[in-house]
Amino acid sequence: MTPRNEDEAPRRGKQPRRGSSRDLPGDEQPDDPREGRRGFSSIGEARAYTPRGRTVAERGRVPRTGGRNADPFRPALQVLDGGESGQRTRGRGRPAEQPPAPREKAADKSREKAADKPRAADKPREKSAGKPRERQPERRGRETPGRTGKGGSGPRRTVTSRPKPVPSEPPKLANSTRRLRLGTVLALSLFVTIGVRLVVLQVATSPEEAESLLKLRENRLSTVALPAPRGSILDRDRHVLAHSVEARYVYVDPENEELRKNVAAIAAKLAPLLGIRQSELLEDMGRKQVLGKWLKFRYLARGVPVAVADAIEELDLPGIYTHSDERRDVPGRDLAANLIGFTGDDHHGLEGLEARYDDLLHGTDGKRVFEVGTGKKLNLPIPSGFQQETPARPGSSLQLTIDQDLQYQVQRVLNTAGRKQNATVGSAVVLDIQTGEVLAQASYPPYNAADAEKYDADERIDAASSIVTDPGSSHKAFIFGAALQEGLIKADELIEIGPAIKKGDTKFEDTHPQKTGTRMTLPGLMAYSSNVGTILIADRLGKEKVYEYQRKFGLGRATGEGMPGEAEGELLKPEDWSGSSYGSVPIGHSVSATLIQMAAGFAAIANDGVYIQPHLIKATISGEDGEVTPAAAPETHRVLDADVARQLRLIMEAVVDVDGGTGGAAAVQGYRVAGKTGTGKMLIDGQYTSHNASSFIGMAPADNPRYVIGVSMDVREGGGGDVAAPAFSEMMNYTLLHNHVPPSGSKAPNFKIKE
């Protein structure tokens, strides 16, 4: 075939877009376009020089970077060389390569045949400079004779000998030890950096910087107290005696700038709503520094009604805010007020059971700390700012042994008797002898616990547990019981007495004087409250035994019923007795005791000789889960044998049933009553008053006692039988009926008084 002149137009137009091998850089293109596209005479021949019969185009194409003079065999040779795609450089030599592998010989022969054919590309090209361009030898391989045109000689084409494929070096694996060391170094560096920073902040920070940070924090943080809901005080049937109701508290931010500019005007608006003088409000709204810090929270009023707080909110006063609070409410007003006591503005107990069990009732207050901005409301936190809330833990409720209805009736009777007798002070106690529970405990005069500040402290005391008196003749029951228990007297024994007896330098007379040598029975001595007979019995006991049984009956120490400030009373120790003490102590003088102590001693007689500690607390009720925890069991001990206690109760019935007895006014219709009158003196600051501490302590039904009631009043004149016995009768009558106690099944015996 005659080679085509380069000046001629191509015979077949543009090269096809797909299916042709692209020229490799550095190789010359043949003049024949058909041969220039592939470098082979046919597709079959090209495939002969590619592995697995695939074309070079299918294995990947090498970008064309040179002109038309490219080696047509280069794509196939690259594949056979193991994928080497290095460019051939014209005019540069190349070291000889190793002989081709056996499987490459066929491809080399085909390439030699193709090289022998005359090609237009083998003809010398004319250059614009006029000098023919010389073909540079190939970089590698050896030269073979080539032909140009017909028999002409031309440049010799280099036939490349293909080297053996050299396996590629496997990739290097990562060094795990190196990575671990590097990670450890980075982690240690991080911790060292943090540690150094902490040391700098805590040690190297100057005092001025620390102070500025604290001030900045204080200015941003605000604290609001969260009062704990206070527990209630309930009666034995869980009727409310005192509880807390919803209210509000009003507080001020003294550091509010608008407040400080108009503090007088703001105080003037608040004063009529809060019922507080403007001068007091101005003082509370002023700036105050505590421990070097300016306060941002101060109470103005606690327990404010909700309606009043709403009115204050509507005024929208700068620096004045309200928050949820509670107010102590006493529904019964004066009902058991002397027992319950009252709380202060901070909801802490100040007197009575409110004070005694304040830790239990109050619970634990919480607080809310939050970050504020420059807004008007102190209690509005920044939504994304710091907030911390410690919730309040509600207090537990206190369940008393008090019977609300019985308490009301006892108070009513005591108040009526106190006014009638013109008493200065009075008290009454109702005990359940089987359990030691205090069912009622009243004081005269009463006061309204809901408005306690209007009453003097002396008017708010619980008289039954805090006022001590000489028990007087009611103490004689203990002397009779001790002598019977010791076997020094017998229940049917006759005691010879006279109108008076002298001990030391003191003469002791009877209110019902008997002739010298009169022989009286024990019921007669008890009914007429004979001083002489009691002193003679005490002589048989001796001062040590008298003191011993006083202690056994509960005198000389507080009962521990639950009231705060309970008085212990006072006993005269045997070593302190004087000559007159042998006469005064047995009849209840030179002895001081509270009414609750005397009632507990009589309850031991009623309970077959077993003393049970009186108590006011029945149980506590958790404010969180409502769990009921019974109070600890009361202390008990035996004072008298059961038979001795029954004999003593029979002797004491004579006080009420014998004509002329001192306690006839204490009788209760349908029930047998045993008890004893007493007339002593009340002690105030260690000094006896000129009044009489008149009392009556008794039990019913005497044949099977259930309750003991003690009544005492301080009056100008009158004994226990005239002053206290009538009140006892009315109280006992209601108590027995209220608790459905059946009437006595038998009548009291006819007592023999004297021989």
Q: Letter for the amino acid at 303?
A: G
CA distances to 336, 337, 547, 639, 703 from 642, in Å: 34, 37, 21, 9, 13
DSSP 674: E
CA distances to 22, 24, 104 from 46, in Å: 13, 15, 14
Please provide the size of the chain in residues. Answer: 755
CB atoms within 10 A of CB 388: 11
Q: Letter for the amino acid at 423?
A: A
| Residue 189 half-sphere exposure toward CB, CA atoms < 13 A | 6
For residue 473 the two structure tokens come to 């003749």
Helix (H) or strand (E) holding 313: helix 306-315
| Residue 617 half-sphere exposure toward CB, CA atoms < 13 A | 24
How many helices, marked H, and strands, marked E, lie in the chain?
A: 26, 29
Chain position carrying tokens 């077959």: 608
d(CA 384, CA 728): 69
Chain position carrying tokens 């064309």: 64
Residues 131 and 139 sit within 8 Å (Cβ to Cβ):
no
Residues 471 and 550 sit within 8 Å (Cβ to Cβ):
no
Residues 494 and 519 sit within 8 Å (Cβ to Cβ):
yes
| Catalytic member of 21, 244, 465, 473 | 473
Using omega within 30 degrees of 0 as the cis cutoff, is the peptide bond preceding 499 cis?
A: no
324 carries an active-site annotation: no
Q: Is the dihedral of CA 297, 299, 302, 304 positive or negative?
A: negative
Residues 359 and 335 sit within 8 Å (Cβ to Cβ):
no
Secondary structure (3-state) at 286: coil
d(CA 746, CA 513): 32
Chain position carrying tokens 């309750």: 707
d(CA 481, CA 485): 6
Chain position carrying tokens 């047509």: 72
Taking each helix axis as running N to C, give the angle between helix 642-657 and helix 476-485, from 0 to 180 degrees, rounded to the nearest 10.
Answer: 140
What is the gyration radius of the CA atoms in the chain, in angstroms?
A: 59
d(CA 78, CA 66): 17
d(CA 237, CA 529): 40
CA distances to 192, 193, 211 from 203, in Å: 16, 15, 14
Secondary structure (3-state) at 710: strand
DSSP 183-238: HHHHHHHHHHHHHHHHHIIIIIS-HHHHHHHHHHHHHHEEEEEEPPPPPPEE-TT-
Question: Beta partners for 224?
Answer: 368
Which residues make Cβ contacts (< 8 Å) with residue 576, sequence separation at least 6?
Answer: none
Find, among 99, 112, 172, the residue nearest to 146 by Cα: 112
CA distances to 66, 430, 677 from 444, in Å: 126, 15, 20
Strands (E), 233-363: 233-234, 240-252, 289-290, 293-294, 298-304, 320-329
Which residues make Cβ contacts (< 8 Å) with residue 478, sequence separation at least 6?
Answer: 549, 550, 553, 555, 601
Query: Which are the catalytic amino acids?
Result: 473
